[in-house]
Structure 1
Amino acid sequence: MSIVELPAAVRRGLPALAVALACVGIAAPSATAEPAPGCAPATATTAVPAAVPVLDWSENLGYDRQGNLWVSRLYRNEVQRYDGAGQLTARVPVEYPGAVRLGPDGLMYAVYGDAPTSVVRPGGVVRFDPAAADPRPEIFASGFTMPNGAAFDADGALYVASATGVIRIGRDGAVDAGWSERAKLNANGIAIDDGTVYLTSNGGPLGRVLRFPVTDPERRTVLADLSSALPGVPDFADDLLVDETGAVYVTTLSGQLVRIDRNGQSCRVLASEPMTSAVAVPDRPGELLAGTERGAILRIQLAP
């Protein structure tokens, strides 16, 4: 299998390899090169530290209506709730959780089975009441291979990015098989804005960001191909979000937060540690939180 074909689960083993190399005196490459010049730099501080590095891997982030932050702890097999002061207030058991998203009904939806085991033990989506003192998950949809990203459209349908393609799920939990069959491609992170689906894809080449109309998943175009810190080497594009201006922000394996405008022009706004996901902080324009493979949650302040 070539590096272009590496699945997300293999990529998740790379931080451990980097640690091992460091232990024997071999340094892993650092993220120092920009995909393109032009962006004012962002700043980052630690919002929530990692109690146990890598074990606390923060795969994904989402906010509920009360302003609580939800964090998918991939290797702890749980989704955790944090209050505004950064205090842990709840743990929800979810097997290998991926994206965690607020649904139109006020419930939180979390992808599960974001691991190679989903080939024989299929993954899916659970949902739970985020306001409960002890939230209990229930299965909403299942039968997916390595589901990772998730996003809701304006009508409340849920789109799950998986190793076999994007899956469209109605508000009743039923899979739209016809639409999903038209969206067969390598899919990782997903966001939907103004009727357009934005997708990170690493199936060939690495680091590709695609977009297509919600109504026509076969009409895909390349928004950008991201480069890494190594000249001529593509990056692994993980999750993404779309801000209020229509700019797309992508987190990458090499530790970059990349901004892509509507015309596909990209630039690095932050060089940090490998980041898995990012979410806009409610009511705080220009501020993001980012998950990391180490497990810490970064608070990122974008330049005005």
Structure 2
Amino acid sequence: MRKLHRPGNRVWPVAALLALGCAGIGAPGAVAEPVAVAACAPAQAATAMPAGLPILDWSENVGYDAQGNLWVSRLYRNEVQRYDSAGRLTATVPVEFPGAVRLGPDGLLYVVFGDSPTSVLRPGGVVRFDPDDPRPAVFASGFTMPNGAAFDANGNLYVASGPGVIRIRPDGGVDQDWTARAKFSGANGIVVRDNAIYLSMNGNPLGRIVRFPIDDPGNVTVLADLAVSPGIPDFADDLLIDDAGVLYVTTLTGQLVRVDPSTNTACAVLTGQPMTSVVAVPGRSDELLAGTEGGAILRIRLSH
């Protein structure tokens, strides 16, 4: 039996669920200055799809294709699963330790593979396939602990990995010069908006959310340091950014944290089971889906 590892540079929780700590802005590597935590209206969560076998069905990441099908990365099953709008399983695709699943500008699905400590010996990368004819082919490889992924407007793919962020050109080649300037220990979730990258990191400290310009990855702004209680950092996992530029971050302790870069505030809108990933439901600005360690997919309705 394979020994289960905590993927994506993660650690097990050190405290029970407590209130969100603080958020702040500062220089890279500096301790963020505490600021007032905004009062957030609570979100409501319900099970959209139950887990089959807990842990084995660990839902590491979630994403949609252009037809509205939901794709779920089942980390320990070594496969990505496709579900239709009714929640029926319609396809499975073999991918070793799958991480982020993202729709590319070409209509293909791109899935990170090797999201495991074994990638030190067996490097990971990215596969891609036609969602209607899912036969995965390697797009890029040679990465250690790849996890999150996001495209920019020019079709470049950014992969968050253990040593930092990797930029992959549309032809599958790695932009080595840019990648050498984007070293972030414990990079995990990643999103792109306009000309900026937002990143969750779990190096030193855990639970740090940062932003930097695509053209200048060394110019880092710390947006938030998430905590479960004062002095006890939380583990920040996946994140998304909405149309208003607000971030929603999933954490190891089961918090869904709202981070608003424009007002420098953060608050937990939901607490519950550990969440691994989050995606916006197409056409619904107030509805998200979240993957969980137990394997269930949660439907989350936000209050605005």
Q: TM-score normalised to the size of structure 1?
A: 0.90
Deviations 1:100-147 (A, max 9, x none): 000000000000000011111100000011012xx1100000000010
Residue in structure 1 matched with residue 10 of structure 2 by the alignment: 11
Tell me, which stretches of 5 or more residues in structure 1 are unaligned?
A: 1-5, 16-27
The correspondence of residues 235-246 of structure 1 with structure 2, limited to 5 A, is 235-246=234-245
CA RMSD, Structure 1 to Structure 2 (Å): 1.6
- Which residue is 1:283 aligned to? 283
Partner residue in 1 for 2:151: 152
Q: 1:207 to 1:273 in 2, by over 3 A?
A: same
Question: Aligned to 1:160, what secondary structure does the other structure show?
Answer: strand
Q: Matched residues in 2 for 1:294 and 1:113: separation?
A: 20
Partner of 1:249: 248
1:140 is matched with which residue?
A: 139
1:120 aligns with 2:121: yes
Question: How far apart are residue 9 of structure 1 and its match?
Answer: 4.9
2:273 partner amino acid: E
Q: How far 1:259 moved relative to its partner?
A: 0.3
SS in 2 for 1:104: coil
Q: 1:31 deviation in Å?
A: 1.8
Q: Structure 2: which amino acid aligns with 1:153?
A: D
CA distance in 1, matches of 2:135, 2:257: 36
Runs of 4+ in 1 over 2 A off after TM superposition: 6-12, 34-37
Relative to 1, partners in 2 of residues 1:10 and 1:144: Cα closer, same or farther, differing over 3 Å? closer
CA distance in 1: counterparts of 2:241 and 2:179, whole angstroms: 22
Matched with 1:20 is none
Q: 1:197, 1:29 → 2: CA distance?
A: 30
| Deviation of the 1:11 alpha carbon | 3.0
SS state at 1:65 partner: coil
CA distance in 1, matches of 2:9, 2:245: 32
Q: Which digits, 9 at most, give the CA deviation of each residue in 1:143-194, with x for residues without a partner?
A: 0001000000011100000001100001000000000000011211100011
Q: Which has the higher helix share?
A: 1
Query: Quick one: distance in 2 between partners of 1:175 and 1:150?
Result: 14
Paired residue type of 1:197? I
Q: Secondary structure at the match of 1:178?
A: helix
Displacement of 1:29 in angstroms is: 4.5
- Count the aligned residue pairs: 283
Quote the Cα distance in structure 2 between the aligned partners of 1:33 and 1:122. Answer: 37
Q: How does 1:18-167 map to 2 (within 5 A)?
A: 29-35=15-21, 36-132=37-133, 135-167=134-166
Judge conservation of contact 2:44–2:270 (CA < 8 Å) in 1. yes
Identity of aligned residues (%): 66
Residues of 2 paired with 1:48 and 1:235: CA distance? 26
Gaps of 5+ in 2: 22-36
Query: Any residues of structure 2 matched to 1:259-274 within 5 Å, and which?
Result: 259-262=258-261, 263-274=263-274
Equivalent position of 1:214 in the other structure:
214
